[in-house]
Amino acid sequence: MKWEDVCQAFPEQWVLIEAVQAYTNEKSERILEEITPLKKFSNSPDAMKAYQELHRGNPTRELYVLHTNRKNPNIIEKKWVGVRR
């Protein structure tokens, strides 16, 4: 699905989505060409809890929680520098 399709299917909802096909452009913006909606929520805490559980089980999946009132996802990649403890 495209983001516009998700917005039409789940108006005014928080959605947990998985990026199936995506890339990063020259502005470090993540472009989601194809996504799969996994679950809808009426509030962000429930959506984030579901995200954390799913991410904990499989951290390599590209998952996002977004509200469908956004015209575009506008996901900016941030480069982290340093040592993780």
Q: Return mean pLDDT, the chain.
A: 94
What are the φ and ψ backbone dihedral angles of 54, each rounded to 5 degrees? -70, -40
Q: With respect to residue 84, please indicate whether it lies within any of the assigned structural domains.
A: no
Q: What are the tens digits of pLDDT across the range 2-56?
A: 999 999 999 999 999 999 999 999 999 999 999 999 999 999 999 999 999 999 9
Distance set, CA 58 to CA 51, 52, 61, 69, 71 (Å) = 11, 10, 6, 28, 28
Domain count, the chain: 1
Q: Is 71 within a domain?
A: yes
Strands 63-67 and 29-41 turn out to be: unpaired
Q: Decide: 30 and 22 in contact? Cβ < 8 Å.
A: yes
| pLDDT band, residue 81 (cuts 50/70/90) | confident
Domain that holds residue 34: 3-76
**14 within domain boundaries:** yes
Q: Can you give the pLDDT at residue 80? A: 77
